[in-house]
Structure 1
Amino acid sequence: MVGARDTCKEARTMKTQTLNVGLVGYGMAGRTFHVPLIQAAPGLELTAVVSGNAERVQVDHPEVEVLPKAAPLFARRDIDLVVIATPNDTHFPLAKAALTAGKHVVIDKPFSVSASEARLLKAQADGAGRLLSVFHNRRWDSDFLTLKALLDEGALGRVVALESRFDRFRPRVTDRWRDHHRPGGGIWYDLGPHLLDQARQLFGMPKAILLELATSRDGAEVDDDFLALLEYDRLRVSLQASSLVAEPTPRFRVHGTRGSFVKYGLDPQEAWLKAGQSPAPGWGVDATPGTLTLDEGEEESTPLTSREAPVVPGDYCAFYTGIAETLLRGTPPPVTSESALDVMTLLETGLDSYRQGRWVKLKDGKSALRRLHSR
């Protein structure tokens, strides 16, 4: 196993000054992701939660104060950091109000429902000298960190194709806001930010994007399937997600001039959090490693070799540990508002592509490919 910084372990040993955190929203994202990760982070204390279901919060966390509305939370002088884990179309007004009240802010992905709103929030935070970050937690998936390590060491040679899929089988349409026709609903705004952010982390901003959306389930009113193609120099990137895939598909399939990396199965951290497990030392180890198939010989007749890829553990703890270090020590934030704004630009440009039925170029498209063309 490849060594990795264990920020879950650090959470047990690094507590010094404490910052008070207020969480807005106690749905799936707030309850499953944000609360346990905030509580595991050194230097952060979950002080109050805004929720319309006070009983559920107090059953889970009797020590935490529950408020019915966000405004009283923003007015409290003891709250240093506000975390917004509410429906996508409420991100902008809530973050704007929190920043106006002088709070540092973390927003659950996506940043907002439009790039223009995201730019306004970034400008407001920059002008006020406040931290503004977005919870792009899948930068710390085990399979993504493993792939990143393989690319950093040049194990696959020059990468020529990457396929990244996030498929699920959810044939029944729910009454949740994500399944309703409202700004920020649908699978493109749900899973698109994850896959776009990972592609951007690996290769930078693409030159252009082509997006296809589909509404496939019986009774569905919003998109529940997408295919996005990203244009880079000498590299094809395909991003796909669906709600009607029952058979396992590769999470990653990556091909290069020296070989391929294929990974099945999702990072386990989300499932563990949903099951009520708390981050602890050793957290994030994926028991289903990917497969490396490589050409390790000098002759064309040399047979390919296949083996398990060395696993880099996932580390969702790194996000809030990084947020605390930014606020207490001045280190760079784990997710900058600039990088989150790039993801919003890709989301919005993708929608332009779908509406126009063609490739759409990024106005300031700059392909990083920082490691690939040198190999």
Structure 2
Amino acid sequence: MTDAPIRIGLAGYGFGGRYFHAPLLASAPDCDFLGVVTTSAERRKQVADELNLPTYDSLEALVRAGAEAVAISTPADTHVPLAQEALRLGLAVVCDKPFALDAASARETTELAERLKVPLTVYQNRRWDSDFLTLRRLMAEGALGTLTRFESRFERFQPEPGPPAAGGGTLLDFGSHLVDQALVLSGPVERVYAEMRDHDGGDRAGAGLDEDVFVALTHQNGARSHLSGSWRQGAPGPRFRATGTTGTYVVDGVDGQEDQLIAGATPASEGEHWGVEPEERWGQVLRGDHTEPAPSSRGEWDLFYPAFAAALRGTRPLPVNPWDAVTTATVLDAARTSATTGEVVRLLP
């Protein structure tokens, strides 16, 4: 046991690695950010210019540099092979979502980590969104009563070029977050219904990937989750409408931490202002004609890597249990089947 920072590298420096991982790794006092694994000359230059850190051409090279962990933020279809390679090298792994393209691969990777006794977690950062933390707080306070229906959306208007190929399509990319949040709120799912539309971009980027999805979940506790993801929605709906037996929480827009990171702000630069939503972005609790503001909890993406470091040091559990990601992948598999057949898919308990 030691209190020393964990020595961690990052695999991949595309959009996710550059904006969602590198700034948080560099800001985390519990992490010694060693550098980035990439073979792209363009990415190597970006890393040198923006991070002033070394790059490595393989996970083996990262291990030789002294790493004990790696965060994987590469295209979706590379997650499983890279995660399994890292685990066999003895590297603790943070794998970006979607964890795997299907539940079988997710299960295989999780079982490998257990056999090797190497820590594995999944970067479900949207669990630490301001709006989601606010909803969980309201539920814990009893402000909504018992949750009966959860409506959640990631909707954008970007018909061209459509969904980025690196994400594997909207069901995997947005759906990984939407389903994970629904499972956190309402627990196991017994029935899944889904509708999907593919991008019709011909030979252009995004062609053949699903660009618009709707997934309806019936949870074992009776709650229902209605989840929407789209790249072609000209009128995005509320981010959340969470209805309980005594009230409903509604919030528009998307948590502001992504915009902060893209703008160049980091937890280190913003300090206590990181993740704080201005009052005009707060949601509301509604009970018929009665409306009251719901002050937003602070967004806490900055806490993920310190929690991962603590887990490696044995002082707390992993921030996300990888079996949660297997469950999410199982639901996404069922959604794909439902969208293909037009039938409701029942999941085994």
Decide: shared fold, TM above 0.5: yes
User: Partner residue of 2:9?
Assistant: 22
Q: Which residue of 2 aligns with 1:187?
A: 170
1:176: Cα distance to partner?
4.7
Corresponding residue number in structure 2 for 1:147: 135
Give the structure 2 partner of residue 55 of structure 1: 45
**Among candidates 283, 294, 300, match of residue 287 of structure 2:** 294
Name stretches of at least 5 consecutive residues in structure 1 with no aligned partner. Answer: 1-14, 179-183, 296-303, 365-375
Q: Which amino acid aligns with 1:319?
A: F
Structure 2 partner of 1:254: 242
2:306 to 312, 321, 334: 321
Give distance in 2, aligned partners of 1:195 and 1:175.
Answer: 16
- Does 1:115 find its partner at 2:111? no
1:228 CA displacement: 0.2
Alignment gaps of 5+ in structure 2: none
Instruction: Tell me how far apart the structure 2 counterparts of residues 22 and 158 of structure 1 sit (CA, whole Å).
Output: 42
Aligned to 1:343, which of 324, 328, 336? Answer: 328
The amino acid across from 1:61 in the alignment is L
Instruction: Please list the CA deviations of residues 56-91 of structure 1 after superposition, one character each: whole Å capped at 9, or x if unmatched.
Output: 1100011x11123334224x2611101111111111
Structural mapping, 1:1-375, within 5 Å? 16-51=3-38, 52=40, 53-62=43-52, 64-74=53-63, 76=64, 78-173=66-161, 176-178=164-166, 185-216=168-199, 218-219=201-202, 220-232=207-219, 233-279=221-267, 280-287=271-278, 288-294=281-287, 304-364=289-349
Distance 1:84 1:329 in 2: 22
Between the aligned residues of both structures, percent identity stands at 38
Q: Tell me the CA shift for residue 126 of structure 1.
A: 1.0
Give the AA of the match of 1:167.
E
* Distance (Å, rounded) in 1 between the aligned partners of 2:164 and 2:171: 16
Aligned letter for 2:284?
T
The 3-state SS of whatever aligns with 2:159 is coil
TM-score, length of structure 2 as denominator length = 0.91
For 1:332, what is the secondary structure of its paired residue? coil
In 1, Cα distance between equivalents of 2:236 and 2:192: 26
TM-score (norm 1): 0.85
SS in 1 for 2:334: helix
Contact 1:248 1:264 in 2 (8 A): no
RMSD between superposed Cα atoms in Å? 1.8
Is 1:259–1:292's contact at 8 Å kept on the other side of the alignment? yes
Provide the rounded CA distance (Å) in 1 between the counterparts of 2:101 and 2:48. Answer: 31
Shift of 1:216: 4.9
Distance 1:204 1:290 in 2: 24
Alpha carbons of structure 1 residues 101 and 347: separation in structure 2 relative to 1, 3 Å: same
SS at match of 1:166: strand
Aligned length: 335
**Structure 2: which amino acid aligns with 1:144?**
F
Q: Which has the larger radius of gyration?
A: 1
Residues 220-255 of structure 1: CA deviation (Å, up to 9, x unaligned): 321100000001344321000111123342001122
Counterpart Cα distance in 1 of 2:320 and 2:62 = 24
